[in-house]
Amino acid sequence: MMTGSRHARPKSLAAALAAASLAAVALALFAAGAGAQSRHAPRVMTPTPTPTPEATPEGESESVSRSHASDNKKKGALVSFVVMDYSTGLMSMNSMEIDDLVNTFASRLDESQSVAVTRADGGSRSDARKRAKDETDAYVVLFEIEEDMGAGTGTYGNDPRTLTIKTYVFAPKTGDIKFVDTTYQRPYRQTATIGGLPIPVPSRRVEQYPSQLQLEQASRDAADRVLSRFNIMTPRD
């Protein structure tokens, strides 16, 4: 009887080891199959949505709206001016000298951050009125150089010291004259700012034509008078 039990135990142990080996092999095969399946499974790509241009109130793209925003009007400008010059055929000045004074006038207006300025072709008062009627919000300023017949110096029509600056401001849409102003020449005073205060300094500029400094100063004065009419602070010198 003892001999039979000794043979039964090895058989039971061998069966258990065989079953464990089969289970281990089955588990290994399952793991290998799962790994292969995970390696060869197709990856699902989520498409990235293409951004569309944001529509503006006019139905335009953002780039188009930016091009519309970068027009002649200065950002934050409260008043827009269209500057025209009216040449009356002065004997004492040529077209280049007159153009210098008109540029001085327009540049002085444009120094203010509250003002947008556009230069236009020359014309008469009727031309300026017609241009103003075509404008939606810009005032048309007609810059005119006149002889001061009451100055009493030199020969009329040949002395630049008798010249004055006259400005006509026409309202948009209606073309009505908002105001007319006359600016006279005054002794030239070039200034420098020291501690926030204007201090007169001697000028070393060489005039390119008679009374250039005084006339340019009068053109800036005329621009300041226009700004004051619109309650806009004049720029610092």
Res 12: pLDDT = 56
Q: Which tokens is 181 given?
A: 């102003």
In a domain, 179, yes or no: yes
3-state secondary structure of 137: coil
11 has a pLDDT exceeding 60: no
| pLDDT over 70 percentage in the chain | 59
In a domain, 20, yes or no: no
In a domain, 235, yes or no: no
In a domain, 41, yes or no: no
Residues 117, 232: contact at Cβ < 8 Å? no
Res 147: pLDDT = 87
Q: Which domain holds residue 161?
A: 79-229
16 has a pLDDT exceeding 60: no
* Band (159; pLDDT cuts 50, 70, 90): confident
pTM attached to this predicted model: 0.64
In a domain, 164, yes or no: yes
In a domain, 59, yes or no: no
In a domain, 62, yes or no: no
In a domain, 68, yes or no: no
The CB density around residue 105, as the number of other CB atoms within 10 Å, is 26
More confident position, 126 or 70: 126
What's the CATH number where 150 sits? 3.40.50
More confident position, 74 or 222: 222
> Would you put residue 162 in left (φ > 0), alpha (ψ -120 to 50) or beta?
alpha
Burial class (CB in 10 A: 0-12, 13-18, 19+), 149: exposed
3-state secondary structure of 175: coil
Residues 222, 183: contact at Cβ < 8 Å? yes
Please work out, in degrees rounded to the nearest 5, the angle formed at the alpha carbon of residue 22 by the alpha carbons of 32 and 34: 15
* Band (58; pLDDT cuts 50, 70, 90): very low
Average pLDDT, the chain: 76
Domain total in the chain: 1
